[in-house]
Structure 1
Amino acid sequence: MTAAHAHAAEALGVTVHGPQLWGWHGRTLGHRSEHPVHGTCWLRLLSAPTEQAGGKLWDGTELAAKAFPDVRMPALHGLHDWTAAGRAYRAELTRFIDEPVLSPDPVLRTELELTADWFTTIRSTLTKIATASTDRTAVRQQWIDRAVPQYTGRPAPRIEHWECAHGDFHAANLTNGGTLLDWEGWGLAPRGYDVALLVAYSQLAPRTAAHMRDAFSNLLDTSTGHAALLVVCADLLQSASRGDHPDLTPRLLALVEECCGRH
């Protein structure tokens, strides 16, 4: 990956510097870089076996740049694709966002002081995403039917209202200026899915989670919102069963009980 990243830097005409940033399970590698025209950028490399390349996660950033021109997200400056030794690579060169993310990890573990302006920006972003037309899918009813009973012990909700969602809406993908990062998985999901995911991932910072839930009560304090919360709890409990963020499990189970009690 390091050698492939160096190849991508040469192909896209940038000089990299600073620390490397590895993505989930080493599937991506990012590096700050300098471009003679675009200035400070972020060079992100994706890799997969050749037969698994393409599809939703592969072209998400490219298609999001076209679908959401008015959303606060890193501008896409260039792409470079190639294959070598049975692996496919895609390099994405985007504008560097000089704003701290809310958390270094998807699971929020420290309380935040989020401003009214931040919530206004995020509401506007969510509205623009939700109203977009797409045939991409972030969450499928078939997965909900299987995963919700398995990981929550509750009947799977039948989703009647589907909207476009970012699909990975958590504190590590949100900056303190309201910029939204990492667009590879966007697509249709249950209404309220993004804010439900943000709230679920924030349960270890209960004061901030309560603030978020109150701010997005129009989306969450409804039957569709409770269904979205149940779905994201199943998603995160599934991840916890594989070793990710196990400390979040008790809070997720409590959130499941709360959602089902209110429904």
Structure 2
Amino acid sequence: MTLPVPCAVDLRRESLDGVLDRVERSLQVRLDRETLVRKRRTVGARTDRRTWVRIERRGFDRIGAQGWNGPESAAVLSGVVMPWWYAGFAWREPGEPVMWRADEMELVSAAPVGQAALVIEDPRLPDAWWYALNTSLDALAAQSAPRVATPDTETITQELVTATLGKVFPGVADTTVEEWRPAHADLTWANVTGPEFCMIDWEDWGMAPRGLDAATLWGHSLAVPDLAERVWSERRPDLESRSGRLMALFFCAKVAGPHAHPEDPRLKPARREAARLIVELHASG
């Protein structure tokens, strides 16, 4: 069955007074409208309880059978540096195949390392930050997940990996993912804080090919060669597994594929790294 596709909406340009009023009534908080952070499909704000509320709009076509409670389900994870989750609720937008969800969680004082997914300058993170990253990713990978990850709100499957790589790098004959582990699934520089480390925005977490998180952070570092090298070095066991190399190539396919932007600072390094990864995948059989 094909789900209806909702009307495209950019929350940076929409009036959200009704949505914010509903969230305040349901969670019994007062949102500080002056701290409102707007993104294309999410908004967030501080509250009078010194917490943070994140609100997202998502179409039915992007909500799988597992439901849509990523931040809530991630609250059971241990050993991962992340905000405490306190409460959440969801509702349907009248007349549209769209759901809204609001989650109240711990207010994180540190700012995101990047204002966008990628960085173009080295953030010069301390060694303690890298230790916390490694500890958290190792702890996450050692646990179980009742969900499948949805990077870019799309459920990641073997079929998706094969189709994506086949379209951009048809020379890679074997795209079989051998290892699947729990992943944050949106580990960009906008979703980690610094200099004090914390992983935020857990709505897409779940089972994914080993190395997805490391490859995502590495890929968004490609415009800063020293930083990309540091990410690869820190997460070498993941990235140099066969699944990890496939995930690194999967990232490169998104940057260098049919929708490549000629001014993307990651484009040239992504093409160069893709050539290297293809050789290594062939060599490993």
Structure 1 gap segments, 5+ residues each: none
Q: Are positions 1:113 and 2:127 aligned together?
A: no
Taking every aligned residue pair, what percent have the same amino acid on both sides?
22
Quote the residue 1:91 is aligned against: 102
Q: 1:56: Cα distance to partner?
A: 5.3
In the other structure, the counterpart of 1:13 is 28
2-structure distance, mates of 1:253, 1:146: 18
Q: Secondary structure at the match of 1:175?
A: strand
Could you tell me how far 1:245 is from its partner in structure 2? Answer: 7.9
Tell me the secondary structure at the aligned position of residue 229 of structure 1: helix
Asked if residue 148 in structure 1 is aligned to residue 165 in structure 2, the reply is: yes
CA contact (8 A) 1:99 1:175 kept: yes
Distance in 2 separating the partners of 1:53 and 1:158 = 25
Partner of 1:168 in structure 2? 186
Q: Could you tell me how far 1:80 is from its partner in structure 2?
A: 2.4
Using the size of structure 2 for normalisation, the TM-score is 0.81
Provide the C-alpha distance between the structure 2 equivalents of 1:54 and 1:154, rounded to a whole number of angstroms. 32
Partner of 2:229: 210
Partner of 1:134: 145
In 1: Cα distance, 2:72 partner to 2:259 partner:
32
Bigger helix fraction: 1
**What whole-Å deviation, never above 9, does each CA across 1:30-57 have from its counterpart, x for those lacking one?**
112222xxxx111111223568656557
Question: 1:58 is paired with a residue of what secondary structure?
Answer: coil
Q: Do the aligned partners of residues 242 and 2 (structure 1) sit closer, same or farther apart at CA in structure 2, a change above 3 Å counting?
A: farther
> For 2:222 and 2:107, how far apart are their aligned partners in 1?
29
More deviation, 5-14/147-156: 147-156
3-state SS of paired residue (1:70) = coil
Give yes or no for contact 1:166–1:187 (8 Å, CA) kept in 2.
Answer: yes
> How far is 1:236 from its partner?
4.1
In the alignment, is residue 231 of structure 1 matched against residue 242 of structure 2? no
Q: How far did 1:84 drift?
A: 4.2
* Residue aligned with 1:93, SS: strand
Tell me, which stretches of 5 or more residues in structure 2 are unaligned?
1-15, 150-155
**Deviations for 1:129-185, whole angstroms, at most 9, x for unmatched residues?**
111212422221000111102123442521111111111111111111120011111
Correspondences of 1:42-81 after superposition (within 5 Å): 42-49=52-59, 55=65, 58-66=68-76, 68-81=77-90
Letter in 1 for 2:46: R
1:71-102 Cα offsets, whole Å, 9 max, x none, are 21111111122334234322111111000211
Give the superposition deviation at 1:6: 2.3
2:75·2:85 contact (CA, 8 Å) conserved in 1? Answer: yes
Verify the 8 A CA contact 1:21 1:29 in the aligned structure 2: yes
RMSD: 2.4
2: CA distance between counterparts of 1:211 and 1:50?
A: 39
Q: CA deviation at 1:246?
A: 3.6
The number of residue pairs the alignment matches comes to: 255
